[in-house]
Amino acid sequence: MEAAEQIKQKARELGFELAGIAPAGPTLDSLFYQRWLEDGWHGEMSYLEGRRGEIRSDVRSLMPSARSVICVGMVYNTREPYSTQAGPAETGWISRYAWGKDYHSLMKRRLRRLADWIRETHGPEARCKVCVDTSPVLERSYARAAGLGWIGKNCCLIDERIGSWFFLGEILTSLELDPDGEVPDRCGTCRRCIDACPTDALVQVEEPGGPSHALDSRLCIAYWTIELKGSIPTEHREDVGKHVFGCDICQDVCPWNTPRRAAVTQEEAFQPRNARPELAEAAALTADQFKERYDNTPLERGGHAAFLRNVATAMGNSGEPSLRIPLERMAASKNPVVREHAIWALGRLRAGAKRPGPDGG
């Protein structure tokens, strides 16, 4: 077997359902990425711009000797309900990717094992650099170039065999490996993700050779509930529904992600622990309790105060009168952002308001 096929087979043996090779160098999306930044669609995510933004255009900025990018995908989907299916009014929703343990360390361990195997097989001159999520790499672009899938209108990478519920990782290597070709875009005329997004965050763009749609993070529920540090815009709090951390709507409605079609993982680390939190219980968590409960999970990223902000917003959209008592306690919080959202939520409940739609409860 040639080197590329050997590496992809080893990646699958290590638990990566998807594996492919892309050439090192700039991707077709790198020019559009700069425009995306210039238009301010990244919101307050300053780590995406500046020097780290420039580096993303070409992996050789990270590793000058890189000749190939080994791209892998690991499924995290489990057989549990989707966010578009109504749940109990007193519960919130956490994004599917955050139900289990933090994927960064698991992915890195597996990729380091693959990198060690490459060096053992091809000699110490085979240089390797492991990247997972936090590295300044346009992951979806390289994964598309490696044949792992196409970038859909919901801006997610989609594989027609397993759907889009998978994490991405890369190994930059000095080996010159035969690249895999891109796969066809199979979204066709479907626009379910666009129509289902409650905030119209998926924006059509006119970019020759670029994507048909882009994400305006400033209108995205996942951005507000994970990345945003201050207050969620008042005019959009109703649209958040009961999302406490992240949003899965644009993937939940995708035909490639139906329960009949989407792949399911047996990985113990990704099994669901945090899907539908009880809102009253979540509101009562102290900072220490929050840390203990969500240690080594993606929920650590936002922090305790942002978590309470989101819980308060979800309570306000629940239409559940019994949640007024915990909200009244939150309205006395020393944190001004938590207090602001709790007061807003109390106003919603007193007015008898409830966001329509299954994702609202």
Residues with a known catalytic role: 133
As beta bridge partners, residue 21 has: 70
C-alpha 129/C-alpha 133 separation (Å) is 13
Q: Which of 84, 105, 107 is nearest to 95 (CA)?
A: 84
C-alpha 200/C-alpha 198 separation (Å) is 6
